[in-house]
Amino acid sequence: MGLYTLFASALCTFVLPLLLFLAAVKLWQLYCVSGRDPQSHFPLPPGTMGLPFFGETLQLVLQRRKFLQMKRRKYGFIYKTHLFGSPTVRIMGADNVRQILLGEHKLVSVQWPASVRTILGSGCLSNLHDSQHKNRKKVIMQAFSREALENYIPVMEEEVSRSVAQWLTRGACVLVYPEVKRLMFRIALRILLGFEPSQMDGETEQQLLEAFEEMIRNLFSLPIDVPFSGLYRGLKARNVIHAKIEQNIKAKMAKDSDNSYKDALQLLIEHTQKNGEQLNLQELKESATELLFGGHETTASAATSLITFLGLHYEVLQKMRKELKIAGLLCPNNQDNNQLNLEVLEHLKYTGCVIKETLRLSPPVPGGFRVALKTFELNGYQIPKGWNVIYSICDTHDVAELVPNKDEFNPDRFMLPHPEDSSRFSFIPFGGGLRSCVGKEFAKILLKIFAVHLTRSCDWQLLNGPPTMKTGPIVYPVDNLPTKFISFNAIA
């Protein structure tokens, strides 16, 4: 009896769990194989699907860039994996990306991971499709018209000049990344959502910024909404943001706007009222949250990278100053020469090339998500219907054949007549096709204004040298880029 009990105990303790594990592995392998469309004679891309149920999500979340670089070296420009609960094909390279971005509504459709869709909501532009997406984009694009951008410039200048002046008074060290995030957050709040400076006291601004950072940290997480999970924390932070935006929406509806321009949120409200539609407060909050994300997180990443590259390449900074001097913009204290407008900014060709080179080497958004609407062939492999497709921006820039010495920071490569046009999808910092970034012109203008004020006001030293970059989900320096700023006038 004792031996029987011992045998039964060992069976329950060791053998059954092992058999269940082996069965799970076998079922996972069958699931991965069964994903292949038998109607297509093309093979699945190479790659691995990772652990049962979890796939390779944990490796991606923990290792990010290292994991993706290992995959590229091992499997090339197209490979299969399993991420965020779905079988996935990850692609890179101009020709492959072209087929995906131009295949919107025919081959693929936008589909972000479940956690992103849940946190941002079904009413935001990124999650809309067909006519809904087209109509919403048309309304939002009014906020990025040439006339609107011209009206935004004074607000951008006011906020940028104030921040740069503060950095110069800090003396020893400024942690650039959090400071730039705060700057871009204030600009997005004022321009895109119409927050007045009086609404943005230090405590409210800090509360909103912290909530936003918590939401973004958990944007890409396992789709499990239980206490203390990433999705739970992300939703909790989003609710804080939604509550503040709702207050702003109600305040806007209660009074006429006296701004010299109409922000994107105001345009969405007016569009709803003009068409006689019932005001969907939840959709407005989701659209506003998405605008705030796109309007500050990505520009903060790009502006931080700009400071990094210029701090490491003083000769480029000097060439920018030469261009500003020719344009009469080098002296910040001369009010006649201090007025920026779209025409003046458009003539700063070399400064524009510096920004392009920054976005080439360090694109803020690493890629985009799609889902296959039908099984199709891509470079000799089948992409099965229903599988997710991730196109990589950073890897596509890395492998672009048109770019010589691609690891070097060399803005002069963009001084040639439109080098990216010869292979349109080799340089895609703002995506492409129907889903290209609606605020790309806004971002370009803001980055140029930031570059002008920074260049003519100060020199700086990166205290830790070249930073280690991380993606989470936006590209940023691990050490927050500690930097010492010195007045340019004092050393000129």
Q: Is 437 annotated as ligand-binding?
A: yes
CA angle 472, 478, 480 (to 5 degrees): 110
451 in Cβ contact with 345 (< 8 Å): no
Q: Which two tokens stand for residue 86?
A: 């779905």
Give the separation between CA 403 and CA 425, rounded to whole angstroms: 12
Burial 184-213 (b: 16+ CB within 10 A, else e): bbbbbbbbbbbbeeebeeeeebeebbebbe
Please report, for residues 125, 220, 426, the alpha-carbon distance to residue 117 in angstroms, rounded to integers and kept in the order given: 11, 10, 28
Of the candidates 262, 265, 260, the one whose C-alpha atom is nearest the C-alpha of residue 250 is 265
DSSP 294: I
List all residues 6 or more positions away from 3 whose beta carbon is below 8 Å from its beta carbon. Answer: none
Cα-trace Rg, the chain: 25
Residue 369 has φ and ψ, to the nearest 5°, of: -110, 135
List all residues 6 or more positions away from 448 whose beta carbon is below 8 Å from its beta carbon. Answer: 345, 348, 351, 352, 355
Give the separation between CA 94 and CA 403, rounded to whole angstroms: 12
6's enclosing H/E stretch is: helix 2-10
List, as residue ranges, the binding site for heme.
437
Binding residue ranges = 437
